[in-house]
Amino acid sequence: MSASIIDGKAFAAGLRERIGVLASAFEAAAGRKAGLAVVLVGEDPASQVYVRNKGKQTIACGMESFEHKLPAETSEADLLALVETLNADPAVDGILVQLPLPAHMNEQKVIATINPDKDVDGFHVVNVGRLATGLPGFVPCTPLGCVMLLKDQLGSLSGLDAVVIGRSNIVGKPMAQLLIAESCTVTVAHSRTRDLPDVVRRADIVVAAVGRPEMVKGEWIKPGATVIDVGINRVAGAQEGKSRLVGDVDFASASTVAGAITPVPGGVGPMTIAVLLRNTIVAAHRNAGIALDESAI
């Protein structure tokens, strides 16, 4: 049996199209474009690529992109001051501070400074609390993108057994919260989990967010299960000096057992950026007091 491939790239393109329509309606109603500010500290090449892609897609959707690139040696106080300026700027609806930050900065302190109603990453404790209690807020982009793909693939997730591998604040934990909200029976596995293959074998839905290239093997997967691979790992390619991207799932073996699986690249990654734009257009409507049917996006 061969799994169907979940085309995150195509789904993300459709999502951006719907956002584009909402963005032009917003501009007509508000007399200004919705705006996203992205802050990058330092010169990490992968982060630079992501930030550039975010900026391009923001503009392509008819929103305004404000990019702030700061040198790696910027003081924490200067970064906090920039965040405060963006909080106060009425042209800015969403703020994203690219992580990880340089070691001399306290990430929690920086995130805590972002106005929760502009926190389109959903990382502020207020939004974490809102998600945990079922209040409207902002949900982290990567896990929300995963749930959109799952619901598109499976319809209702109610009653399904889900295993999330990874318990980070940005992927694993919010992913578990969203699956609980969809009435899945959720297990969260991590580096101390005993017999991970056995835990994964129970799952109708497997979400891998580990950061270990091709760790999850096909023999671990229950036949017909849906596999969402969040991992983005750059490894040495076949050709000298070239690298390639692989996920946390061994795609070759898992795709012979799973019912459906996301590829890397072209799966969850493109969804992350599209959901960021979704959260930004939602923030713009809320901040401007303009009604929007958020469940329809």
Ligand X SMILES: NC(=O)C1=CN([C@@H]2O[C@H](COP(=O)(O)OP(=O)(O)OC[C@H]3O[C@@H](n4cnc5c(N)ncnc54)[C@H](OP(=O)(O)O)[C@@H]3O)[C@@H](O)[C@H]2O)C=CC1
Which residues of this protein are in contact with ligand GUE, per CB under 6 A? 49-50, 96-99, 121, 141, 232, 245, 264-266, 269-270, 272-273
Residues with Cβ within 8 Å of 219's Cβ and at least 6 positions away in sequence, in order, are 197, 253, 257
Stretch that binds ligand X, among 18-26, 103-111, 169-177, 278-286 (CB under 6 A): 169-177
Tell which positions 22-51 bind ligand X, by CB under 6 A. Answer: none
Q: How far apart are CA 178 and CA 114, in angstroms?
A: 23
Residue among 12 and 188 whose Cβ is closer to ligand GUE: 12
Binding map of ligand X across residues 84-123, x = CB under 6 A, - = no contact: ----------------------------------------
54: annotated active-site residue:
yes
- Residue numbers 252-291 binding ligand X by CB under 6 A: 268-269, 272
Q: What is the DSSP letter of 50?
A: H
- Structure-block tokens of residue 168: 């980070």
CA nearest 57: which of 39, 36, 43, 42?
36
* Region from 31-39, 84-92, 191-199, 287-295 binding ligand X, contact rule CB under 6 A: 191-199
Residue 69 catalytic? no
CA dist 272 and 144 (Å) reads 8
Distances in Å between the Cα of 82 and the Cα atoms of 39, 53, 70, 198 are 9, 22, 10, 48
Sign of CA dihedral 172, 128, 232, 154: positive
Q: Is 198 exposed, middle or buried (0-12, 13-18, 19+ CB in 10 A)?
A: exposed
Within the chain, strands assigned E span 4-5, 35-41, 64-70, 94-97, 161-165, 185-189, 205-208, 226-229, 233-236, 243-246, 260-261
Among ligand GUE, ligand X, none, the one that 93 touches (CB under a kind-dependent 5 to 8 A) is none
202 labelled binding-site residue: no
Query: Is 167 annotated among the ligand-binding residues?
Result: yes
Instruction: Give the one entry of ligand X, ligand GUE, none that residue 244 binds, where binding means its C-beta sits below a cut-off of 5 to 8 angstroms depending on kind.
Output: none
Residue with nearest beta carbon to ligand GUE? 269
Do 110 and 61 meet the contact criterion of CB atoms below 8 Å apart? Answer: no
- Between CA 140 and CA 131 the distance in angstroms is 10
Instruction: For residues 169 and 175, give the distance between their C-alpha atoms in angstroms, rounded to a whole number.
Output: 9
Site for ligand X in 198-217 (CB under 6 A): 209-212
Q: How far apart are CA 83 and CA 95, in angstroms?
A: 8
Q: Is 16 annotated as a binding residue?
A: no
* Residue of 54, 118, 173, 222 with catalytic role: 54
Among ligand GUE, ligand X, none, partner that 266 touches (CB below 5 to 8 angstroms by kind):
ligand GUE
Q: Which residue is nearest to ligand X (CB)?
A: 168
Structure tokens at 279: 């959260």
- Nearest distance, CB of residue 231 and ligand X, angstroms: 4
Which of 5, 25, 170, 199 binds ligand X (CB under 6 A)? It is 170
Question: Is 98 a known active-site residue?
Answer: yes
Tell whether 232 is in a known binding site.
Answer: yes
119, 121, 204, 248: the catalytic one is 121
Positions marked catalytic? 54, 98, 121
Positions in the binding site for ligand X (CB under 6 A): 142, 165-168, 170-172, 189-193, 196, 209-212, 230-233, 248, 268-269, 272
Q: Binding site for NADP(+), residues? A: 166-168, 232
